[in-house]
Amino acid sequence: MNTRAVTAGSPEGERSAALVTGASRGIGLGIAQGLARAGHDLTITARDAGLLEKTADDLRSWGVRVHPVAGDMADEDDVRRIAHAHTGAHRRLDVLVIGAGVGSAGAVGNAPMRRFDKQFAVNVRGPLVLLQEALPLLRETAARNPARGAKVIALASITGLAPEPALSAYGASKAALISLCRSVNAEVSADAVSATAICPGYVDTDMSAWTHDRIDPTDMIRVEDIVELALAVTRLSARAVVPEMVVTRPGERPWRA
C-alpha cells in the first residue's frame, strides 16, 4: 500500500487524480506507473481493452484507484466519453497526460495523405477535443489547489521543433501539439493550469522498433528518463510554467531524432 497516496494531492487531503492516454505501453505506461507510485488515482486509456484491464490491475498494487476506459483517440465520441468517464470516477483532474500517439514515415514529396490524416487525428485532433472536455475540470481542480495548480503534459517529439527527414507529417503533427500546449499556457496559465510538451528524440519503445536496423535501442533515450521529467512537472508549483522540455540523444547532431 502506498503511504504517500493521501498526501500527493491537495490541501483538502484528497488524492490527486490523473488521466493518462496511451497508458498501456511505452512512455504512457511508464508515466502511469510513476503517477501511481506517487499516489495519484488514475484513469487510463488506450484501444486494447484487455491490455488496459491488465495494466489497471498492475497499477492498483500501488494502492490507488484506477479506472480503465478503452477508446480510440481518433474517434471524437470516444475521446469525449473518456473525459466524461474520468470526471464521473474522480471528480478532479490534477494531471492530464496526452501520451497516445502514432507515427509513420513519409517525406514531404511522397507522404501518403491517409497516414497524414491518421497522425493528425490521433496526435492533434483527439488531444484538442480532450483538452476542450478537460479544461473545466482542470480549472476547477487548480482553483481548489492554487499553489500546485493543474498540469497538462503532452508527449510531443523533437521532430516538432527540428525537421527530421522522412518524418514530415509526424513532425508537423507534433509541432501542432506543441502549439496547442503553448496556447493552453497563453489562455489559462494565469488560472494555474499549465501545459508542458515533452519533446524527445528516439525513445526505446515499440514505436521506435522500426529503426533498430540503423539505431541500436541501447542508443535511444530510456522511458525512465521521460518519466522522471513528467513527474518533475507534476511537482512544480503553479508559479513555474515549462512550455517545452527537449530531450536529445548524445552525439554530434543533437537535434536529430
Ligand X SMILES: NC(=O)c1ccc[n+]([C@@H]2O[C@H](COP(=O)([O-])OP(=O)(O)OC[C@H]3O[C@@H](n4cnc5c(N)ncnc54)[C@H](OP(=O)(O)O)[C@@H]3O)[C@@H](O)[C@H]2O)c1
Tell me which residues touch ligand X (CB under 6 A).
22-28, 46-48, 51, 72-74, 99-103, 122, 155, 157, 200, 202-203, 205-208
CB of 236 to ligand X, least distance (A): 21
CB of 79 to ligand X, least distance (A): 9
Cα separation, 216 vs 248, in Å, equals 15
Identified catalytic residue from 62, 120, 170, 202: 170
CB of 238 to ligand X, least distance (A): 25
- DSSP for 87-137, please give it: HHHHS--SEEEE-------B-TTT--HHHHHHHHIIIIIHHHHHHHHHHHH
CB of 1 to ligand X, least distance (A): 27
CB of 117 to ligand X, least distance (A): 12
170 belongs to the catalytic site: yes
Phi, psi of 197 (to 5 degrees): -95, 120
Grid coordinates in use for 114? Answer: 491517409
Cα separation, 123 vs 119, in Å, equals 6
Strands 17-21 and 150-155: unpaired
Q: Which of 98, 113, 128 is nearest to 169 (CA)?
A: 113
User: Which one, 9 or 200, has the nearer CB to ligand X?
Assistant: 200
Kindly state the helix (H) or strand (E) to which residue 36 belongs, with its residue range. Answer: helix 26-37
Positive/negative CA dihedral, 235, 239, 240, 241: positive
CA terminus-to-terminus distance, the chain: 39
Which residues are designated catalytic? 170
